[in-house]
Amino acid sequence: MVNKIRSEITFKWLGADVSSGLVVFLVALPLCLGIALASGAPLISGIVTGVIGGVVVAMLSGTNLAVSGPAAGLTVIVLNGIDDLGGFDAFLVAVILAGVLQIGLGALKAGFIGLFFPHSVIKGLLAAIGVILILKQIPHFFGVDEDFFGDFAFWQANGLNTFSEIYYSLTHIHKGVLTVAIVALAIILLWDQPFMKRNAILKNIPGALIAVVAAVLLKLLFDNMSGGWKIEEAHLVTLPVMSNWGDIQSSLATPDFSVLANPQLYLVVLSLGLIASIETLLSVEAIDKLDPMRRHSPMNRELMAQGIGNIICGFIGGLPMTAVIVRGTANINAGGRTKLASFSHGIFLLVSVLMIPFILNQIPLAALAALLLVVGYKLVSVKIIRQQWSQGRDQFIPFIVTLVAIVLTDLLIGVMIGLVVGMYSVLRENYKHAFHKKRVHHNGQETVELILSEQVTFLNKAHIINELKAIPEQGSVIINASHSTFIDHDVLETIHDFKREAAEKKIDLKLINLEADGRNIQKQPGVGSRAAGKRP
């Protein structure tokens, strides 16, 4: 395993990876803190998970661009789990056991579940994340930071929802915060222009870093101004300040294994392990779609890496983790190419909490909101929506339903709704393509020929029945199975029943590659019982 990990590490894009890691760090820092706060856990627990996700999971995982850390999608489970188990120390045992469960799922090769998410649903997921990022950053942009940074849920803990929070922020604008946000956004957009990327010096400096530095300088300037310009602590990053090793040790929670006797623990473990695994598979599949190098991540290995990461987090006081789309997308947009980008983001998180928390606590959240606004726009640009529209209704409907459902609920519920709609589209297409219909006229008599498709399943039964019912008395029909390698038993029974009905209605019925009793008589090599109409 060590040799495999070593062989996967390449320093070819080291500069780009470290630069990207710095940008991802700036995105991840407030998310780690915000999710910990919303989960009712110590703030440091979010940082711990971000560090483990970057330093440990990035190396163990087979994915190149996904970045792991605390996830907003687990906030409710964590909050309820802490309450049900009687405290954060007891909840850490659930995190450990959820990690063990994930390792088991990886060993059982349950990662194949990630392959069942339709392309249109994944695209809808990415676009929804983009929309949510834009909508959720608007209040922070104007200086309303009541909802925690990184919240993705439509209904918020403060009683408002995504849209009412935006309306509220428009009536409570903070001049200093808005100025910082506009300047930061302008710098990020400027740095994204082609002429800046052609500059030999500036192209190596992340625009997000320049934006954050400018935001800090403006914040310090506004500290000496009155009239509503000063940016208060509520609008800044709030990283815990620890001056020595004793402070660090005392801030890290340890698991309370006495909770093993509590039956409620195992319900928390099951929900935590399964939902974290599904969210990870969704995130990795989505990030793979964005990978400019078109690489595919080994899903089973990813589950095992996440499991190991969660076990470590449980022992040292961290929140549960998943692969997170926002971090992975920021990584790709910033030019990350290998797992060293995620690794370096973890190192930056570790160094920041140990050495420079007082500096980072000067960063206005509005500057980071500006960065996430750009990330969100790139996920849901008009070009992407047009591409989905051009692919036809059967691709666009699951895409747009998934997008809207996620925005109005949350990630997992929205994806489930999208999957149902996607499955309906597949069934509908399967229903429509049971056969190819031809009409032949000979001596004034119309003959309908139904050329059955290669795979005819029970899902096609209703369409075939409706078509056969439409054949008039004394009509003529040919059922051609010469191209079929599998015909479901239910369909064969339908054809057999129609044979009797045809005799009663004096319908001229001809069967090709079907026996008179409706049995498929093809004997193609390698088909066997499937050609005989038996289910595999």
pLDDT value at position 429? 73
Domain edge (last residue) among 408, 423, 443: 408
Question: Would you say residue 16 lies in a domain?
Answer: no
Show Cβ contacts of residue 72 under 8 Å, excluding neighbours closer than 6 positions: 31, 35, 38, 150, 151, 152, 153
Tens of pLDDT, residues 477-506? 999 998 888 888 888 999 989 999 999 999
The pLDDT of residue 514: 82
Does 324 share its domain with 453? no
pLDDT band at 382 (very low <50, low <70, confident <90, very high): confident
Strands 455-456 and 445-452: unpaired
Total Cβ atoms within 10 A of residue 498: 21
CA-based nearest residue to 22, from 323, 367, 340: 340
On whether both 402 and 437 belong to a single domain, the answer is no
pLDDT bin (cut points 50, 70, 90) of residue 533 is very low
Is the pTM higher than 0.85? Answer: no
Taking a C-beta distance cutoff of 8 angstroms, is the pair 49, 310 a contact?
Answer: no
Indicate whether 166 and 133 sit together in one domain: yes
Is residue 457 located within the same domain as residue 363?
no
State whether 99 and 219 are in the same domain.
yes
Which position has the token pair 């209703």? 462
Q: Which of 280-284, 359-363, 434-438, 473-477 bottoms out in mean pLDDT, i.e. has the lowest?
A: 434-438
**Residue 424 placed within a domain:** no
Question: Where is 67: in which H helix or E strand?
Answer: strand 67-70
Using a 10 angstrom Cβ sphere, with 0-12 exposed, 13-18 middle and 19 or more buried, the burial of residue 394 is middle
pLDDT exceeds 60 at position 519:
no
Asked whether residue 358 falls in the same domain as residue 269, the answer is yes
Q: What is the arithmetic mean of pLDDT over 356-374?
A: 95
CA angle in degrees (0–180, nearest 5) for 32-150-276: 70
Q: Which of 408, 443, 476 is the last residue of a domain?
A: 408
> Which of the residue ranges 91-100, 140-149, 195-204, 262-271 would you say has the lowest mean pLDDT?
195-204
Q: What pLDDT is attached to residue 1?
A: 62
Q: Is the pLDDT of residue 329 over 70?
A: yes
Give yes or no for a contact between 321 and 69, defined as CB atoms under 8 angstroms apart: yes
| Domain count along the chain | 2
| Cα 246 to Cα 243, 249, 250, 251, 394, distances in angstroms | 8, 5, 6, 9, 59
For residues 470 and 327, state if they share a domain: no
- Residue 271 placed within a domain: yes
Q: Residue 100: left if φ>0, alpha if ψ -120 to 50, beta else—which one?
A: alpha
Average pLDDT over residues 304-328: 97
Say how far apart CA 196 and CA 187 lie, in whole Å. Answer: 11
The pLDDT assigned to 528 comes to: 32
Q: Tell me if 425 is assigned to some domain.
A: no
**What does the pLDDT look like over 187-237, one tens digit per residue?**
999 999 999 988 888 888 999 999 999 999 999 999 999 888 999 999 999
Residue 442 and residue 378 in one domain: no
| Same domain, residue pair 307 and 365 | yes
- Single out the residue of 162, 132, 308, 141 nearest to residue 215, CA to CA: 141
Of the CA atoms within 13 Å of residue 354, those in its CB half-sphere come to 10
**Beta-carbon contacts of residue 108 (< 8 Å; ≥ 6 apart):** none
Same domain assignment for residues 154 and 37: yes
369, pLDDT greater than 80: yes
Q: Look at residue 534 in the predicted model and tell me its pLDDT.
A: 37
**Average pLDDT for the chain:** 90
| Per-residue confidence band for 536, with pLDDT thresholds at 50, 70 and 90 | very low
Q: Give the Cα separation of 419 and 402 in Å (integer).
A: 8
pLDDT at residue 524 greater than cutoff 50: no
**Pairing state between β 455-456 and 486-487:** parallel
Provide the pLDDT for residue 267: 96
CATH code, 512? 3.30.750.24
Residue 377 sits in the same domain as residue 447: no
Least confident of 344-353, 370-379, 385-394, 521-530: 521-530
In a domain, 468, yes or no: yes
Residue 428: inside a domain, yes or no? no
CA distances from 365 to 67, 181, 231, 404 (A): 21, 9, 10, 27
Range of the domain at 510: 433-530
- Of the candidate ranges 88-102, 149-163, 351-365, 393-407, the one whose mean pLDDT is the lowest: 149-163
Angle among Cα 328, 346, 98 to the nearest 5 degrees reads 75
In a domain? residue 423: no
- Measured CA distances, 260 to 99, 246, 253, 427 (Å): 15, 29, 17, 45
Among the candidates 408, 442, 467, a domain finishes at: 408
8 located within any domain: no
Q: For residue 416, is pLDDT > 60?
A: yes
Q: What is d(CA 60, CA 324) in angstroms, rounded to the nearest whole number? A: 16
**Residues of the chain with pLDDT > 70: what percent?**
93
Residue 76 shares a structural domain with residue 224: yes
